[in-house]
Structure 1
């Protein structure tokens, strides 16, 4: 007897459809992460001090802008005797290389004399500003000051700093003045290795960093090299791009778009060179940075209103680059003088209290106390 055939089920069976893969949830940087002051190896005692006198902010008297104004004043004195020894162009439009060429002239000339007069007066202003800072509670124990920013990379700037140091000694103010240990353009990038969460560095080679100034923006890839030197003393910028935004006078929106484009170019370069980027972006920016990443004050040299409650640069850049590699991006912001100072941390362990001055379009400042 043949077995009865099995009854066919009236129900049709279908394979369950796979649920679409959801992208990982990414949160914007939260509060209490920007502008950190308490770090494992040091404390940020103060930064972005804005001291006033009858002429306005004290720091404005020792900026690169102030030096150009002094130089123009000395040129006017010589113009009354005849032609201008530096030519027809305004001092603010002359490059540092042009001014250094006039200063290095083999023969003593009227141009060199004008340059030396401006440098001497600027050195006196710088010494007076430093003396004022040293009277502030956050600076009173400072033993060494590192000078960064764009001005010291010129010969005129270097001479002004040396003269300011000599003037301070004559005044009985015993504080060491020194230069950055690496290229000036790298300081505001390298300092970010000390502010990157350590867990982000374990499986990565490098970070992205931005240094925003009143004239230029620098964007770069910083190799931490923490396996060779745990104190980050060998950290190195392996690629850097510089944009002189002051010439183009962009709107705030166009400024952010351009910076985002610079960052995206760095990511593509890292992929080509097989550099393992951490999902991190550090932004060094002028001004007093609140814990939520907004700017309280001091961003007057940047295009547009950066202190508006409707503007948040870390979020604006995060929206363009929410993921780097396989992880959600963390975007942090801190004051540019603080970050530039942190780049010197491995070389400042022999003093207890130290500070940094950045002489650029404005005068940035920060002071630190080392932890034992």
Structure 2
């Protein structure tokens, strides 16, 4: 059995590139993980997800525990077999979705009781149950159960939430050590909103507990890019250099570039798939709305130099027509294109870091994107 490990290959300033090794294959970093919340990356065939360059996808404890249930997925061979994805899978703990989607939520020291947003059924999610579900799903990288606080939040409210997440981190690790399969990994989650002393305390205690990787949570919840970068500026320099660093729920291309510049290795976000379903295409020169009338007669593809068929083999006029006509193929092609663009962006950053030209890459990226990002 291959052990989980992270091999740092090169640095350029704070930016890093390396490889995370798992029993199901390597993950090149910086890495973007397409979001497959309910066991599928929306509008995408698994083979096409892989062909974009994705080494890993994300699944979600909250959604899969409600439907079809983790126990059923286990009976059907585990999440990899269920969704026909043999590469690594990371599962979120469900904490964010419990806070943002569920009804009649009640938070206690033990965990969270809530009503399903699907059918109103009652459930309880605790650190132990979250880890149990992730083990039943068979994910390769699991997340501690935490509370993701809202923004804005008072300093005292943030402190109470952060301290609860730390207590849950201890219980999550204990459950993981009892239930996990060999080779799997557990990440801790740094909380503390925008308060530097709280972030430092959260990180210090998580490092003392000991995890296979460390995530920065509680960002991309409304604080804005400038504030997010400020938090990373005082958090990442103190993170374990020998472990992967994961910024959760982020983000737009400019977010990814700025976070990599601050030492982050892993990302996930619904932005490329959600925007693709609604007609927004990310390009080297910034985002465009393919439904705009200026594309009605545009015979050029989104990216003639891309190996991705969705990017190079269909005209903007055709994509515009598909969205205007309400055809499913439109969102499918634009999602495919966006995911490919994100993976090309990550590959370009890995190459720039390895060659010691990341600062030049950032300058070129910002000039090309301009104010559109």
TM-score for the superposition, normalised by structure 1: 0.30
Select the structure that is richer in helix: 2
Larger C-alpha radius of gyration, 1 or 2?
A: 1
Higher RCO structure, 1 or 2 (CA under 8 Å, sep 6+):
1
TM-score for the superposition, normalised by structure 2: 0.30
